[in-house]
């Protein structure tokens, strides 16, 4: 049955055509005409990072698979009209082969010429792209000749119900073929939407999924840890770039999709992911590898996000200008103008996005177009938005001046300079203030983590914006791989001053005075006197002049003259003993002063005792005496000591007789006793005795 010739003399559509075979008629769209067999599928290029591997074994295997896949695509293209459609409709392997290429082919942001220089690989890749695109074009073509055609309704039924064409397939086409094939991609999408309007509903759902993706990537950014974080960041970079590029190319080649973006508020998702996700992703990858090729892909994602937002803005401007040409009333554009101004107002809170957008798409041009198209617009609101965009570059906290960065070219687009969204903190130009600041940060980290060496902390702070982030990374064991293997107790060795002097002077010396203010090698005007010959200016020339020089005697004469002036003190009494005045004053201060009532009671008790004991004489204190007599104090102190310790012991003989005459038993016993008890006497309690004297005023404090 597969050899039945295709005859359509009546030029019927494929769905109505029947072929004759041995007196019976068989529908042309019958499963018997399908060519069913296992088919080769496309395998992705063997990659090492973002470039094709140079492993000969892997390349040979890919080339062999590419040849088989090319044969499968050619066989599908060579089939007759009805056999082609019966094969792709009834044979799932044919559709899977086409889908495998769309899923595994390298995207347009990695051009084949930039990832490999192998001419065989480049040739196979280009041929496969052309032939797969021809298969897609044949799937949306309902008429190839007068005898080989089908109705559009039947074509819509075939491709939609059997998922021969789907929105994910169209998105893959956009990512693979890129903006350079924008004209044919736009024609394909427009034809699909015209054949089956239900694809518009699927397109809206798919674009809502992109908006959801912009939110989900921000949640995934904080889930990675340790070494898995590197691969996660790279995957998120590719994921956000795929979504951003698909969205921007779709808005460019198929303008009708811009209305869908406005309805689902795609512009808010773009500004949000640009301001919150892109800088964090850039810093995360930069922290692990400053020269990572994924940093260029992040810059490409920035380009695509800005372009997608610009396409949405252009949709409003085109409608405003088109409505102005067809209507003379300017008030008809007022609703569109207000909607556009509202979009600009909502994105003002995203400083990073506003800065980059203003840099590449100056908003003053748009505001001027709106003023000309709609004079009745809210000028106050427009002026506020314009001023906010113009001042965003000054107020943006993320914009930090940096040295010029070499520009790379990726598929016709220049990378952004590393500022705005992807700006990273740099050190201050003031070396002194920067040194002080880094020392303070090191002390702050070591106060929390004292086991870390200052050398390791210094390396740590160069990777993080502030000490808090560094401390958090250490505590969470979330350090970059290169820092994770470093010695945590590493000390900091400052640069050698001698090396710097060697670079400056070309002379290598080791001297403690090298490089000081008196070093003529590093200072054009050194301090001090540079003399030649013997002696210094103004000094004696000979030994006799040196001995006759009495200038030092004249200098000391004025000092010794001061000792000849003695002042007489009239109130001085040489006979007065003031040794215990301080002690008396201290004791008098310690005596608490009694209240008036208590003193009256004491006076009454004293008078009663005077009546009972007339024979006793009570010494009265002379109120004119400034302090108590020191003799009385010494006597009272001696009496108390005698009562406490008893009669002083007699001196015990420990000296004995002269050496060689022998010692008595008493002397030996006294010596032994003194040796045992010497720790309780002698000079072992000097501090205690000194404190005791000071407390009683015997030593001036």
Asked if the model's pLDDT at residue 416 lies above 50, the reply is no
Looking at 428-550, list the stretches that DSSP marks H as alpha helix, in order from N- to C-terminal side: 431-448, 454-463, 467-475, 481-484, 497-505, 543-548
Q: What is the pLDDT of residue 387?
A: 86
Q: Is 323 exposed, middle or buried (0-12, 13-18, 19+ CB in 10 A)?
A: middle
- Mean confidence (pLDDT) of the chain: 79
Structure tokens at 537: 């200016």
The region, left, alpha or beta by phi > 0 then psi within -120 to 50, assigned to residue 638 is alpha
365-411 per-position pLDDT tens digit: 888 888 888 888 888 888 888 888 888 654 443 333 333 333 333 33
228-257: average pLDDT: 89
Q: What is the pLDDT of residue 404?
A: 35
Which of 220, 213, 326 minimizes the C-alpha distance to 269? 213
Asked if the model's pLDDT at residue 651 lies above 70, the reply is no
Q: Which of 191-200, 445-454, 622-631 has the lowest mean pLDDT?
A: 622-631
Buried b (16+ CB within 10 A) or exposed e, 610-640: eeeeeeeeeeeeeeeeeeeeeeeeeeeeeee
Which of 402, 107, 420 minimizes the C-alpha distance to 237? 107
Choice between 551 and 533, residue whose per-residue pLDDT is larger: 551
Asked if the model's pLDDT at residue 427 lies above 70, the reply is no
131-164 per-position pLDDT tens digit: 999 999 999 998 888 888 888 899 999 899 888 9
Beta bridge partners of 51: 48
Q: What is the pLDDT of residue 648?
A: 60
640-667: average pLDDT: 80
Choice between 403 and 424, residue whose per-residue pLDDT is larger: 424
Reported confidence tier of residue 351, pLDDT bands at 50, 70, 90? confident
What DSSP line would sit under 185-242, residue for residue? HHHHHHHHHHH-THHHHHHHHHHHHHHHHHHHHHHHTTT--TTHHHHHHHHHHHHHHH
Fold of 434-505: Helicase, Ruva Protein; domain 3 (1.10.8)
Choice between 582 and 299, residue whose per-residue pLDDT is larger: 299
Reported confidence tier of residue 679, pLDDT bands at 50, 70, 90? confident
H or E element at residue 68: helix 56-78
Q: Could you tell me how far CA 465 lies from the centroid of its own chain?
A: 5
Phi, psi dihedrals of residue 410, rounded to the nearest 5°: -125, 110
Phi, psi dihedrals of residue 26, rounded to the nearest 5°: -120, 135
H or E element at residue 572: none
Domain boundaries, given as residue ranges, for the chain: 1-195, 198-396, 434-505
Q: What is the pLDDT of residue 166?
A: 92
Q: pTM here?
A: 0.59
519-528: average pLDDT: 70
569-585 per-position pLDDT tens digit: 555 555 555 555 555 55
Q: What is the pLDDT of residue 329?
A: 57
Kindly report the number of other CB atoms within 10 A of residue 222's CB atom: 10
603-613 per-position pLDDT tens digit: 555 555 555 55
Q: What is the pLDDT of residue 381?
A: 87
Could you tell me which residues come within 8 angstroms of residue 514 by beta carbon, excluding any fewer than 6 positions away?
Answer: 497, 498, 501, 521
Q: Which of 28-37, 280-289, 338-347 has the lowest mean pLDDT?
A: 28-37
Q: Is 536 helix (H, G, I), strand (E, B) or coil?
A: coil
Q: What is the pLDDT of residue 252?
A: 92
Q: Looking at the chain, how many residues does it have? A: 701
Q: Please tell me the distance from the alpha carbon of residue 84 to that of residue 78, in angstroms, as a whole number.
A: 8
Q: Please tell me the distance from the alpha carbon of residue 382 to that of residue 373, in angstroms, as a whole number.
A: 13
Asked if the model's pLDDT at residue 662 lies above 50, the reply is yes
Asked if the model's pLDDT at residue 193 lies above 90, the reply is yes
Contact (CB, 8 A) for 284 and 473: no
Q: What is the pLDDT of residue 402?
A: 36
Which of 452, 478, 697 minimizes the C-alpha distance to 584? 697
């Amino acid at each position: 049955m597969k050899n039945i010739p295709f005859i359509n003399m009546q030029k019927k559509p494929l769905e109505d055509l029947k072929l004759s075979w041995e007196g019976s008629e068989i529908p042309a769209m019958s499963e018997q005409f399908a060519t069913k067999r296992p088919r080769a599928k496309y395998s992705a290029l063997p990659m090492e990072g973002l470039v094709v591997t140079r492993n000969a074994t892997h390349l040979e295997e890919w080339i062999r698979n590419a040849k088989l896949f090319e044969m499968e695509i050619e066989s599908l293209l060579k089939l007759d009209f009805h056999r082609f459609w019966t094969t792709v409709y009834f044979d799932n392997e044919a559709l899977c082969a086409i889908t495998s290429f769309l899923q595994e082919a390298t995207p347009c942001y990695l051009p084949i010429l930039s990832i490999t220089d192998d001419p065989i690989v480049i040739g196979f890749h280009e041929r496969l792209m052309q032939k797969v695109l021809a298969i897609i074009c044949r799937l949306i073509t309902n008429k190839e000749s007068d005898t080989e055609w089908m109705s559009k309704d039947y074509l819509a039924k075939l491709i939609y119900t059997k998922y021969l064409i789907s929105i994910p397939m169209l998105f893959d086409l956009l990512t693979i073929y890129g903006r350079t094939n924008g004209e044919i991609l736009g024609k394909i999408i427009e034809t699909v939407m015209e054949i089956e309007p239900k694809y518009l509903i699927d397109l809206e759902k798919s674009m809502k999924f992109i908006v959801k993706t912009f939110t989900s990537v921000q949640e995934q950014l904080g889930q990675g840890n340790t070494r898995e974080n590197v691969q996660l960041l790279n995957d998120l970079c590719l994921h956000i770039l795929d979504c951003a590029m698909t969205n921007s190319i779709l808005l460019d080649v198929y303008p009708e999709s811009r209305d869908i973006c406005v309805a689902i508020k795609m512009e808010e998702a773009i500004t949000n992911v640009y301001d919150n996700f892109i800088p964090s992703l850039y810093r995360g990858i930069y922290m692990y590898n400053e020269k990572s090729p994924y940093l260029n892909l992040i810059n490409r994602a920035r380009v695509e996000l800005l372009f997608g937002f610009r396409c949405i803005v252009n949709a409003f401007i085109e409608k405003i200008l088109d409505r102005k040409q067809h209507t003379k009333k300017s008030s008809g554009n007022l609703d569109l103008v207000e909607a556009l101004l509202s979009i600009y107002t909502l994105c003002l809170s995203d400083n990073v996005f506003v800065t980059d957008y203003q840099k590449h798409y100056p908003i003053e041009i748009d505001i001027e177009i709106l003023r000309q198209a709609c004079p009745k617009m809210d000028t106050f609101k427009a002026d506020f938005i314009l001023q906010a965009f113009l001042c965003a570059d000054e107020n943006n906290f993320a914009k930090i001046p940096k040295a010029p960065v070499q520009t790379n070219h990726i598929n016709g687009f220049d990378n952004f300079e590393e500022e705005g969204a992807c700006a990273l903190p740099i050190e201050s130009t003031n070396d002194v203030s920067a040194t002080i600041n880094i020392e303070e940060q090191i002390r702050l980290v070591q106060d929390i983590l004292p086991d870390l060496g200052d050398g390791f902390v210094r390396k740590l702070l160069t990777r993080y914006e502030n000490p808090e982030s560094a401390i958090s990374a250490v505590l969470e064991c979330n350090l970059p791989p290169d820092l994770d293997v470093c010695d945590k107790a590493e000390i900091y060795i400052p640069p050698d001053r001698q090396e710097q002097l060697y670079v400056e002077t070309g002379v290598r010396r080791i001297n403690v005075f090298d490089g000081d203010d008196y070093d003529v090698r590093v200072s054009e005007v050194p301090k001090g006197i540079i003399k030649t010959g013997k002696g210094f200016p103004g000094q004696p020339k000979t030994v006799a002049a040196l001995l006759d020089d009495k200038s030092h005697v004249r200098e000391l004469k004025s000092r010794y003259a001061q000792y000849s002036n003695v002042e007489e003190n009239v109130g001085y009494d040489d006979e007065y003993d003031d040794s215990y005045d301080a002690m008396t004053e201290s004791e008098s201060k310690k005596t608490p002063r009694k209240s008036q009532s208590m003193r009256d009671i004491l006076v009454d008790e004293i008078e009663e005792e005077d009546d009972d004991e007339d024979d006793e004489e009570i010494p009265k204190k002379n109120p004119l005496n400034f302090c108590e007599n020191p003799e009385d104090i010494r006597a009272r102190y001696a009496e108390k000591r005698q009562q406490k310790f008893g009669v002083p012991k007699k001196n015990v003989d420990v000296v004995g007789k002269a050496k060689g005459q022998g010692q008595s038993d008493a002397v030996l016993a006294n010596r032994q006793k003194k040796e045992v008890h010497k720790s309780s006497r002698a000079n072992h309690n000097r501090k205690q005795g000194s404190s005791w004297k000071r407390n009683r005023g015997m030593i001036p404090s």
